[in-house]
Structure formats: C-alpha cells, structure tokens
Amino acid sequence: MAHVDKLIGRLVQHQVDFVIVGGFAAIAHGCSIRTQDLDVCCDFSGRNLLRLQAALDGIHPVHRMHPRRPPLALTPETCEGWKNLNLDTDEGQLDCLGSIAGVGGFQDVARESIEVQLPAGPCRVLSLDALIRAKEAAGRRRDQEAVLQLIAIRDRLRREQP
C-alpha cells in the first residue's frame, strides 16, 4: 500500500482535482479487501490533466492499455477528448476515470464524496452509499465481496448513531 500512499501524495502535492474511488476507497471505509492499484475519478479539464502529468513526472507513467505502452505526454493541445487514463508508473497502477457507473461524472462524484485524512493529507473519497452503488453497478464478481462488507459497515455505523 506504500505505493498508493506515494501516488496519492503526488496528486495532493500538485493539487490535482480528484476523488478516490474503487478498492482503495473501500479500504478507507474499513473493508478488508486487497487492491493493487489506485482508482480515482478526476476532472478531465486540460488544466487538471496537466497537473496530473506534473504529479507523475519522474515515475515514468505509460499508457497501460496500449500495446506499445507509450509514455504519458500531454500538451495543452492533446488534453482534449480523454475520458479515462489507465497508467502504469514506477509507483504502481493509476486509473484515472472521468465517470463512475452508478454515480455519474466527476462533478457528481465530487458531490458524493467525503474528506478523509490520509498519510498524504486530506483527500476526497467516494461516500459509503455512493461506493456501494458504484460497486453494484460495476457488476464485477470481485466487487461482490466489497459490497457485502460495505453494506455491513454502513449498517453498523447506522446502529451506532445516536
């Protein structure tokens, strides 16, 4: 998980506008699942993508889904049209998503996020209810265990509220 903390630290330091989603968000809410990558939903504006690229400078980001694995090389002119970036870096995998199934685009995700304190500093994480919807909407087998744990966590928190 140290690599995830380092990736988050880079994003925070460079003021990338993002929300942590996926497996690491589930862990932040108390799930005991394992994840090997960092999934974030981010603003895909040119300005934010250039901040993302600056955050990853020095850790060799490459496009993981492209057969030739070209390096991330954004310019103000080439920032248009991106919806997702699936990257490998020296610090691990980073998936930057423009929208999340069951929640919506970045603005919707940001509205349904909460701030949590992580080793890298304060970060936005998809809320528990929104994360459950996202995991259910994804419909992947590996998300089913996370959904069960997230629902149990939500139910426990509701019982503990005065």
pTM of the full structure: 0.93
Question: How does the average pLDDT of the chain come out, rounded?
Answer: 93
| pLDDT 10s digits, 51-91 | 999 999 999 999 999 999 999 999 999 988 899 999 999 99
Checking if the pLDDT of 1 tops 60, the result is no
Angle, helices 46-56/2-13, rounded to nearest 10 degrees: 130
In the prediction, which pLDDT does 3 show?
A: 80
pLDDT at 33 over 90: no
Tallying the residues shown for the chain, one arrives at: 162
59 burial (CB, 10 Å; 0-12 / 13-18 / 19+) is: middle
The correct answer on CATH 3.40.50.720 for the domain covering 2-154 is no
At 36, the pLDDT band (50, 70, 90 cuts) reads confident
